[in-house]
């Protein structure tokens, strides 16, 4: 909303942005609860959350704040909030070639294997092109991965 305060650009992001991510996670939970009331026949056992950048940080926080709701999360270049180290939800992430994640945001190779996480680097895609500013080639590559993740039955 236009009345919302802007995300802080100074300070430790994991501290100063946390209230914004928490509000985002709360908003996601609110929408899910409203959908349960208005569309009870939807499949709420297989909820997939997808977010980019700040939205991906919210997506990464959601299962920590609201466990056992999301079936899978797909984070497009979250940089600040650590991806959950868990088997449920199933965790996928597409990474840009130009913006590194902060320390401990991404799992180690051992954690990825232990929890079945899928982390894919897109070396030719920059962070700001993972949204509507990207080229047709960027969009096609991202869409192909998203469809693959959504069809993953593991």
How is the beta sheet containing 70-76 ordered, strand by strand?
47-52, 70-76, 90-96, 118-122
* Residue 4 within any structural domain of the chain: no
Enumerate residues 6+ apart whose C-beta is below 8 A from 22: 61, 65
Reported pTM: 0.93
Here the contacts of 31-35 (C-beta below 8 Å, separation 24 or greater) are 32/69
Is 1 contained in some domain? no
Say how many domains are in the chain: 1
Per-residue confidence (pLDDT) for residue 8, from 0 to 100: 77
Give per-10-residue mean pLDDT for the chain (154 aa). Answer: 76 89 97 97 97 97 97 97 96 97 97 97 95 93 97 84
Q: What is the CATH number of the domain that holds 50?
A: 3.40.50.1820
Q: Helix 54-65 crosses helix 18-38 at what angle (to 10 degrees)?
A: 70
Residue 87 domain flag: yes
What pLDDT, on a 0 to 100 scale, did the predictor assign at position 86? 95
pLDDT of res. 6? 77
Domain that holds residue 119: 13-151
Is there a domain that residue 2 lies in?
no
Which residues, in sequence order, are CB contacts of 20 under 8 Å at separation 6+?
Answer: 7, 54
For the segment 55-84, what is each residue's pLDDT rounded down to a tens digit? 999 999 999 999 999 999 999 999 999 999
- For the chain, the farthest-separated pair of C-alpha atoms sits apart, in whole angstroms, at 44
pLDDT of residue 1: 60
């Amino acid at each position: 909303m236009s009345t919302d305060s802007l995300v802080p650009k100074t300070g430790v992001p994991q501290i100063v942005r946390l209230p914004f991510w928490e509000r985002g996670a709360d908003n996601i939970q609110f929408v899910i609860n409203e959908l349960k009331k208005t569309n009870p026949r939807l499949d709420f056992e297989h909820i997939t959350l997808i977010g980019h950048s700040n939205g991906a940080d919210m997506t990464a926080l959601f299962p920590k704040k609201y466990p056992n709701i999301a079936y899978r999360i797909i984070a497009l270049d979250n940089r600040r909030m650590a991806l959950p180290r868990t088997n449920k939800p199933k965790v996928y992430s597409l990474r840009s070639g130009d913006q590194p994640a902060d320390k401990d945001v991404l799992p180690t190779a051992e954690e990825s294997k232990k929890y079945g996480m899928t982390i894919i680097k897109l070396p030719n895609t920059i962070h700001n092109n993972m949204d509507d500013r990207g080229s047709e080639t960027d969009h096609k590559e991202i869409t192909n991965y998203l469809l693959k993740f959504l069809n993953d039955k593991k």
